Structure 1
Amino acid sequence: MRIRTAQWRSHRALAFMFCALSSAGGMASFVGCASDTNGTESTEGTADGATNHVEASDGPESPDAADASSDVADSGGFADAGSPLTVKCTKSPCPVSLSAARGTYCALLDTGRVACWGDNSSYQLGQGADSGIQGSDVPLEVPGVEGAVAVRGTCAVLGDGVVKCWGQGNFLQANGPRPPATTNVAPSPVTLPIPPAMGISVTSDVLDNLGGCAALVSGELLCWGYFVWYSVASGPKFLDAGGTPYADYSPTISILSDGHAAVDVMVGPTSFARDERGVIWSWGAQSSLGRVSSMNLDPYPMPISIDGVTSFDASAANACAVARGQVYCWGGYDTILFATPTLIPFDVAVVSVATAPTLVSKVNPHGFACAITAKHDLYCWGDNSNGMIGNGTRTTLELVPVKVDLPGPVATVRPTSNQVCAVLENGELYCWGLGRKTTPERVVFQ
């Protein structure tokens, strides 16, 4: 995207950020005054702040949110989907939200600390270089991270909008152009040199993806680094975090073309931003845009034909959203399984959804996702080769959502490519899948 100078309206108040972050719900939550784990409405205000130079797209004009709503949004829904449960810890510390990256889980604790467990080959546990790269089945608190209100991947947003990250990723710890083969590893948490943020998304693949975006308190998007888009005809192409051909390492600031504030962002070969109205914008690789585009690589953020989104999640090329209590999913790699949002049938309203970075291709055309209903039950569907459905089976493909038997109401869930973890309302954590039972087993925090 080319850039031009524009006068951006006054920064939203820090109160907007604190409101947005206080919910600290599921892994996909960094949005304002949410009615669910992933956020819905946000409250605006005014704040001390200077005029910013921002980026605006030279691409096609964006339709209004009402125009962006197509038959997908008109397919009805439930009158009141309700809200996800707030975790009420019976014993502290306990997890209140979950995140995952590169075989590692991280949990935001009720104490404002973050604890991680699993693979540590790229220091995802954040314990420092001296601790080595041995993994841990026991959750370990990340030193130097306090006052956290949200966590995604191996990054935490603190109450003042400061972002700290550890493990592998592009954490803006160097200046100027860098070749795509360069990787960054932070054994201990580092502070990203960015303005106060309410949402963060940083990829952590070894070579394919090393970039990130932040949804700033000002309502702007700040993006940096690169991603790889694969074309059968021409091979891999490097893109920057805005979906355009890779140029350099330096971050760029942009606003959504209709001026609405971005309150959450998720990056990858296809990237997504959600604005304060619940409209999802997408750019990047065509296969997961969730909208019709004539370009294999679409650099222009444009809205997807769903409005009123109250929960949204994307992992790799898989994406799902909840609007008016109904679940829609789309995406794929070398095949477009669901080119545009496709309804996943539920006979009860859904309050939140989470996807897994399961490879969706011609060989394996089925991803994986889980959803929490308004009755606070957990359902999962898709590829079950690792026992992620949680019903004691493996290899059975489940195209219809299957209820997971858990000993209490579910507050939040986070699937990975081979495992699922869920937090109950009382703060108890249960996990299942590869390396564990194919039915939920409890994980105890020390």
Structure 2
Amino acid sequence: MVAFSAAGLAAVSCSSSNDERPTFEAEDASREASVPPTSDDAEVPDALTSRDASFDAAALAVSCTSDPCATSLVTTLGTSDTDGAEGFCALLRDGTVACWGANQAGQLGRADEAGALDSPSPARVVGLTNIVRLEHTCAIDADGGVFCWGTGPFLQSDAQVTSTERTPVKLPIPSASYMGFSPIAACAELADGPVCWGSNTLAQVAAWTNPHPPAFLAPSPVATPNTTPVRNLYMANATFRLHDDGIVDSWGANPAIARESSLAPDPYPAKLALEPVSHIDVVASNGCAVSLGIGYCWGAPIPEAKFSFKPDNLFDRALPEPVIVPEPVHRIATTNHVVTTVLGDKIIQPQRWCAVGASGALFCWGFNASGQAGDGTQHYASEAVKVVSLAAPAADVKTTPNATCALLTTGKVHCWGSNFYGQLGTGKLKASSLVPQEVVLP
């Protein structure tokens, strides 16, 4: 087991079918953009892209009137960024955590007898109490203890980067306030700053000391240029450290770091030009952020049919670009593109995005073969469409490639799209829905 002390750290410099796996239409494979397409002559309305310094960036508050009541919502991770992991977890107001959906990587955090079975019925993660913060399948309790489950860089072995933990394990790190992790690397915000560990193939952990970075880096402190208090950490192929003043430092894969750099990857934390930022969502080499009511997205290009990138378009989406949504937004979420094989042919499933408007209305755009855009259709959403039939205003939204879930201001969670893995949380497996359905929280 890997363990260390704070003193030691200081010394270290789908488809609509109810019973089939989601499938992907080849005609959608070329549809990808950070911004919903518009005609060449169309002008973006000023009201949708103008930054308002007086905009209240805080998400709409959750007001629990009855139990069970969720206070935050996250997605789970699989064994990699491309394995199509589909699942969600919710932090309940009693300090426990409930998860549902895919479980091949142990994401549900249930007792060993549950095995690797997917589940459409949310149930509490074993042994978690007094939890105050969630990040995918890691939870932080009121004392700063970090507990993780599923498959990830959970510091349980010196011999391998990741392990699969079907029930939560406490990470051997000092008390943390925030945690960010991907399937292969992680960072935690400690009292003296961020500490990162895991695979460093994309320099999202630390600077390379030789051309061939080691397979595993032990927890090490990271020096970032901004010393103001931190609001959150986010990690995928790049790492983002969001400060209370809205400044963001990033390092790692390029494109993915959302800033200009001559290094690819870039292991040196530096400031994004976009500020102030109030919210970020990242997956693989794609990300989105909110600044003064405007959503911005960026990322790596989707590979073409031969799965190669053209040198002249590798950085086409490298910098944040504004998205077009009918009203200012509080929260935004993105998915990664997914590659699948159909009858021997590799097919690319494009991305999808969703955003919570200032009114609590929810808008989605992009891939929609399983109805995951929430407008009641299965048509590709080339422009932001409004999610229909939400029972209350949304406080937050989370997306997987084939399903979407929203945390409502009532503390209830509603989901829609594919349900092949039970990711809608309705208690019914493989019963998809084109409109929001209430999750049956325990």
After TM superposition, the score normalised by the length of structure 2 is 0.75
Q: Does 1:213 align with 2:170?
A: no
Q: Does 1:226 align with 2:199?
A: yes
Q: What CA distance in whole angstroms lies between the structure 2 residues aligned with 1:118 and 1:288?
A: 28
Cross-structure match for 1:423:
407
Contact 1:55 / 1:254 at 8 angstroms: preserved in 2? Answer: no
Q: What CA distance in whole angstroms lies between the structure 2 residues aligned with 1:348 and 1:365?
A: 27
Q: What CA distance in whole angstroms lies between the structure 2 residues aligned with 1:299 and 1:52?
A: 19
For residue 328 of structure 2, the aligned residue among 349, 354, 363 is: 349
Q: What is the 5 A alignment of 1:167-316?
A: 167-175=150-158, 178=159, 183-204=162-183, 210-218=184-192, 220-226=193-199, 228-229=201-202, 239=203, 241-242=205-206, 244=208, 246-247=213-214, 248-316=216-284
Q: What CA distance in whole angstroms lies between the structure 2 residues aligned with 1:187 and 1:288?
A: 30
Q: What is the 5 A alignment of 1:46-445?
A: 53=10, 76-77=51-52, 79-101=54-76, 102=78, 103-175=86-158, 178=159, 183-204=162-183, 210-218=184-192, 220-226=193-199, 228-229=201-202, 239=203, 241-242=205-206, 244=208, 246-247=213-214, 248-333=216-301, 334=309, 335-359=314-338, 366-394=350-378, 396-405=379-388, 406-435=390-419, 436-445=432-441
Question: How far did residue 157 of structure 1 move?
Answer: 0.9
Contact 2:204 / 2:253 at 8 angstroms: preserved in 1? Answer: no
Question: How far did residue 132 of structure 1 move?
Answer: 1.4
The number of residue pairs the alignment matches comes to 361
CA pair 262-384 structure 1, distance change in 2 beyond 3 A: same
CA pair 413-317 structure 1, distance change in 2 beyond 3 A: same
Amino acid at match of 2:189: A
Question: How far did residue 95 of structure 1 move?
Answer: 1.5
Q: What CA distance in whole angstroms lies between the structure 2 residues aligned with 1:416 and 1:424?
A: 18
Question: How far did residue 213 of structure 1 move?
Answer: 0.7
Question: How far did residue 193 of structure 1 move?
Answer: 1.1
Per the alignment, in what secondary structure is the counterpart of residue 255 of structure 2? Answer: helix
Amino acid at match of 2:10: H
Q: What CA distance in whole angstroms lies between the structure 1 residues aligned with 2:57 and 2:227?
A: 29
Per the alignment, in what secondary structure is the counterpart of residue 10 of structure 2? Answer: coil
Per the alignment, in what secondary structure is the counterpart of residue 290 of structure 1? Answer: coil
In the alignment, structure 2 segments of 5+ residues that lack a partner are: 1-5, 14-48, 79-85, 302-308, 340-345, 420-431
Q: What CA distance in whole angstroms lies between the structure 2 residues aligned with 1:421 and 1:389?
A: 10
* Cα displacement string for residues 49-83 of structure 1 (whole angstroms, at most 9, x for unaligned residues): 97962777xxxxxxxxxxxxxxxxx9633632353
Q: What CA distance in whole angstroms lies between the structure 1 residues aligned with 2:438 and 2:316?
A: 34
Q: What CA distance in whole angstroms lies between the structure 2 residues aligned with 1:365 and 1:187?
A: 29
Amino acid at match of 1:149: V
How large is the Cα RMSD of the aligned pairs? 2.6
Q: What CA distance in whole angstroms lies between the structure 1 residues aligned with 2:146 and 2:406?
A: 25
Cross-structure match for 1:25:
none
After TM superposition, the score normalised by the length of structure 1 is 0.75
* Cα displacement string for residues 224-281 of structure 1 (whole angstroms, at most 9, x for unaligned residues): 001555xxxxxxxxx5623645323311012312433443222222222212221122
* Cα displacement string for residues 317-359 of structure 1 (whole angstroms, at most 9, x for unaligned residues): 2211111111111112544442211011234221121222334
Question: How far did residue 202 of structure 1 move?
Answer: 2.2
Q: What CA distance in whole angstroms lies between the structure 1 residues aligned with 2:349 and 2:118?
A: 31
CA pair 337-392 structure 1, distance change in 2 beyond 3 A: farther
In the alignment, structure 1 segments of 5+ residues that lack a partner are: 1-48, 57-73, 205-209, 230-238
CA pair 340-200 structure 1, distance change in 2 beyond 3 A: same
Q: What CA distance in whole angstroms lies between the structure 1 residues aligned with 2:236 and 2:219?
A: 16
Percent identity over the alignment is: 34
Per the alignment, in what secondary structure is the counterpart of residue 433 of structure 2? Answer: coil
Contact 1:316 / 1:358 at 8 angstroms: preserved in 2? Answer: no
Question: How far did residue 369 of structure 1 move?
Answer: 1.7
Contact 1:108 / 1:151 at 8 angstroms: preserved in 2? Answer: yes
Q: What CA distance in whole angstroms lies between the structure 2 residues aligned with 1:194 and 1:50?
A: 11
Q: What CA distance in whole angstroms lies between the structure 1 residues aligned with 2:398 and 2:129?
A: 22
Contact 2:226 / 2:249 at 8 angstroms: preserved in 1? Answer: no
Amino acid at match of 1:392: G
